[in-house]
Amino acid sequence: MKPGEHRVAVTGIGVVTPLGIGGPAFWEGVLSERRAVAPVTRFDTTGYRSRIAAQVDDFDPRDFLSAKRLHWTDRFAQFSIAAARLAIDDAAYHLNGDAADVGVYLGSALGGLAFADEQHDVFRASGLDAVRPLLALSVFGGAAACNVAIEFGLHGPTVANGNSCAAGAVAIGDAFRAIARGDVRAALAGGVEAPLSPLVYGAFTVIRSMSERNDDPPAASRPFDTDRDGFVMAEGAGILLLERLDDARARGAKVYGEVAGYGLTNDAHHMSAPRPDGMMNAAAMKRALDDAGVAPDEIDIVNAHGSATPLGDRCEALAMGRVFGARAGGLPVYATKGQHGHALGATGAWEAALSLFSIVHDVVPRSVNSEDVDTELGLAVTRARTKRPIRAVLSNSAGFGGINAALVFRNPGG
């Protein structure tokens, strides 16, 4: 952190996930080692190579939105508003009169494309007059962030990014920087994804990036496992309430942890394949560590991207080797996509939340479905839940287009 910058705390966690809605339910879902992957029921997958996903089946938007707002929002925006409300309530954060000093930073890989897919079918079947007017307000990438700003009267910067599967981590990093600089006093930051529609989901089956283990859905997502064959798509949202650490302490707020560092790079290599040597992923991690003033040997655990793609996991392991050297083989690495799947732009925010819960509870979860860890990767992927003091966590994210984002979280008292 540069001289004169503010330290940044996380005081609220709001999540909508296949393992549970709300931070405590999500954390307990991870610790229970339950797996939420099952056959897709949202649409007919006949003829698809992949037919499984991690759906959020217990979400009722009426629990979070008024009837009027329900009419003018799609599932993408509803997830965002719900997660934001949960984060605000969790932080016991009281918004001031015009909230001009509170920003919204949200990322999403696909935005409102699933709703557009649905309405395209309506258009083809019944003509333009049958299309919902809501469509024009839902498909642009900033729709979720703007809906959150409107819902809570937030007049600060409203920023959306489309940085693929790193989008949620990028949003948290950007909000962290804005608060540290003094642009805003607080921000809602994270990611949201509602990708489960026939064409949007199908596009990923065409490029064969998703697991085809349709006969055993719970075992399909296998981070760093020798039998990994692709990621499992998920839906949901994750939003954190970030604020100045001094402000949080002054109002007596609980503090989950401190956002201490952020690094962002691009492979500039390929749209769907990571750079084979992991160099730029490693550079993002190193930048985050340098930003935090934390040495590699001060990191207690790594929350890995662990997408369960054959090439992605290999390159991430190489990147960790570049950052941690010989220590990479003994540093606890955990990956939770085996349980909740990969919600693209939202997952980095879920993993940020889990990093913070690890710090609060001094617990490292088991990496479910990483049963036969690929020894060539040289990583100490967690085989069992462990209890240990945790001062600092590195959370790594990566996405299509070669985007790499890393965040460092630490115990603010450590």
The model's confidence at residue 374, banded by pLDDT at 50, 70 and 90, is very high
Which of 172, 167, 21 lies closest to 90, judged by CA?
21
- The reply to whether 1 falls in a domain is no
Residue 1 — very low, low, confident or very high, per pLDDT cuts 50/70/90?
low
Pair 377, 286 in one domain: yes
SS (H, E, C) 129-197: HHCCCCHHHHCCCCHHHHHHHHHHCCCCCEEEECCHHHHHHHHHHHHHHHHHHCCCCEEEEEEEECCCC
Which of 226, 250, 274 is the last residue in one of the domains?
250
pLDDT at 99: 82
Q: Which residue segment(s) compose the domain that 287 sits in?
A: 261-410
127, 191: one domain: yes
Statement to judge: residues 88 and 108 lie in one domain: yes
Mean per-residue pLDDT for 395-410?
A: 97
Q: Indicate the residue type of 157.
A: P
The answer to whether residue 2 sits within a structural domain is no
Which of these is catalytic: 146, 165, 315, 340? 165
Residue range 93-107: average pLDDT? Answer: 87
Residues above pLDDT 90, as percent of the chain: 95
Helix (H) or strand (E) segment spanning residue 351: helix 347-361
* Per-residue pLDDT tens digits for 140-169: 889 999 999 999 999 999 999 999 999 999
- 322-358 per-position pLDDT tens digit: 999 999 999 999 999 999 999 999 999 999 999 999 9
Look up the CATH number of the domain holding residue 291: 3.40.47.10
H or E element at residue 246:
helix 245-250
Main-chain dihedrals φ then ψ at residue 54, nearest 5 degrees: -110, 100
Query: How would residue 139 be classed by pLDDT, with cut points 50, 70 and 90?
Result: confident
Pair (140, 228) in one structural domain: yes
Distance of alpha carbon 344 from alpha carbon 31, whole angstroms: 22
pTM value > 0.95: yes
Answer whether residue 212 is part of any domain: yes
- Exposure string of 82-117, with b = 16+ CB inside 10 Å and e = fewer, is bbbbbbbebbebeeeeebebbbbbbbbbbbbbbbbb
Is 300 in a helix, a strand, or coil? coil
Q: Are residues 216 and 269 in the same domain?
A: no
Segment 245-263 mean pLDDT = 97
**What was the pLDDT predicted at 334?**
97
Same domain, 269 and 244: no
Residues 300 and 365 in one domain: yes
pLDDT, position 113: 93
Please state the φ and ψ torsions of residue 257, each to the nearest 5 degrees.
175, 180
255: pLDDT confidence band, cut at 50, 70 and 90?
A: very high
Question: What CA–CA distance (Å, rounded) separates 179 from 8?
Answer: 7
Alpha carbon distance 274, 395 (integer Å): 18
CA atoms within 13 A on the CB side of 100: 2
CA distance 193 to 141: 11
Chain segment 68-80, per-residue pLDDT in tens: 999 999 999 999 9
Mind listing the pLDDT tens digit for each residue in 287-306? 999 999 999 999 999 999 99
**Amino acid 98: pLDDT:** 64
pLDDT of residue 4: 77
pLDDT confidence tier of residue 18, bands split at 50, 70 and 90? very high
| pLDDT above 80 for 97 | no
Q: Are residues 160 and 243 in the same domain?
A: yes
Q: Is 155 a catalytic residue?
A: no
Question: Are 276 and 332 in the same domain?
Answer: yes
Using CA atoms, how far apart are residues 171 and 177, in angstroms rounded to an integer? 10
Does residue 7 surpass a pLDDT of 50?
yes
Domain boundary among 250, 277, 302: 250
Domain boundary among 250, 281, 300: 250
Domain contains 267: yes
What integer pLDDT is reported at residue 84 of this predicted model? 98
Confidence of residue 81 (pLDDT cuts 50, 70, 90): very high
Q: Which residues, 6 or more positions from 79, have their beta carbon under 8 angstroms from its beta carbon?
A: 16, 56, 59, 144, 192, 193, 194, 235, 236, 237, 346
* Rounded-to-integer distance, Cα 138 and Cα 147, Å: 10
Rounded Cα distance between 402 and 280, Å, is 9
Grouping H, G, I as helix, E, B as strand and the rest as coil, residue 109 is coil
Candidate list 146, 305, 315, 340, residue with the active-site label: 305
414: pLDDT strictly greater than 50: no
**Same domain (yes/no): 71, 171:** yes
Q: 3 lies in a domain?
A: no
344-373: average pLDDT:
97
165 annotated active-site = yes
- Residue 413's pLDDT is 84
Residue 391 contacts residue 358 (beta carbons within 8 Å): no
Which tokens is 91 given? 């932080």
Say if CB 287 and CB 405 are below 8 A apart.
Answer: no
* Higher pLDDT pick, 414 / 401: 401
- For residue 196, is it within any domain? yes
**Domain count of the chain?**
2
Element (H, E) at 101: none
> Residue 221 domain-assigned?
yes
Instruction: Report the pLDDT value the prediction gives residue 100, as an integer from 0 to 100.
Output: 87
């240990």: which residue's tokens?
388
pLDDT at 222: 98
- Of 3-7, 104-108, 193-197, 366-370, the one with minimum mean pLDDT is 3-7
Judge whether residue 276 has pLDDT over 80.
yes
Q: Is residue 205 located within the same domain as residue 287?
A: no
Asked if residue 227 lies in contact with residue 193, where contact means CB atoms within 8 angstroms, the answer is no
Radius of gyration, CA atoms only, the chain: 20
Q: Are residues 329 and 237 in the same domain?
A: no
Q: Is residue 255 part of a domain?
A: no
6 is catalytic: no
